[in-house]
Amino acid sequence: EDQVTQSPEALRLQEGESSSLNCSYTVSGLRGLFWYRQDPGKGPEFLFTLYSAGEEKEKERLKATLTKKESFLHITAPKPEDSATYLCAVAQGGSEKLVFGKGTKLTVNP
């Protein structure tokens, strides 16, 4: 049973076409929700951490939001260099494990 589900699996956008990626989770006692970016042949690169419902974080064209059941990564006016796989991960109460979703592969065409 997946604890972290990301959708869509793949997303293709035109440059400047804003959209959102979804991460839904079923863990209890959320200790933190993390967003990472992974480029081909590279390790995951940290983007954001969210700890409580209602929290929002922004960085350049990216904005992450959190509710009690899911998180969204909003991409505003994306550029080709935003193309990557975006990974969501959660840390749950009573565990030292970070559980990852399967990621959303984003492609931004010029």
Partner 1 sequence: DTAVSQTPKYLVTQMGNDKSIKCEQNLGHDTMYWYKQDSKKFLKIMFSYNNKELIINETVPNRFSPKSPDKAHLNLHINSLELGDSAVYFCASSRGTVRNTIYFGEGSWLTVV
User: Is residue 96 part of the contact set for partner 1 (CB under 8 A)?
Assistant: yes
User: Is residue 45 part of the contact set for partner 1 (CB under 8 A)?
Assistant: yes
- Chosen residue from 49, 61, 74, 76 binding partner 1 by CB under 8 A: 49
CB 75 within 8 A of CB 84: no
CB 4 within 8 A of CB 49: no
Q: Of the listed pieces 19-27, 33-41, 55-63, 65-73, which binds partner 1 according to CB under 8 A?
A: 33-41
Nearer to partner 1, 55 or 76 (CB): 55
**Residue ranges binding partner 1 (CB under 8 A):** 31-32, 34, 36, 41-46, 49, 51, 85, 87, 89, 91, 95-98, 100, 102-103
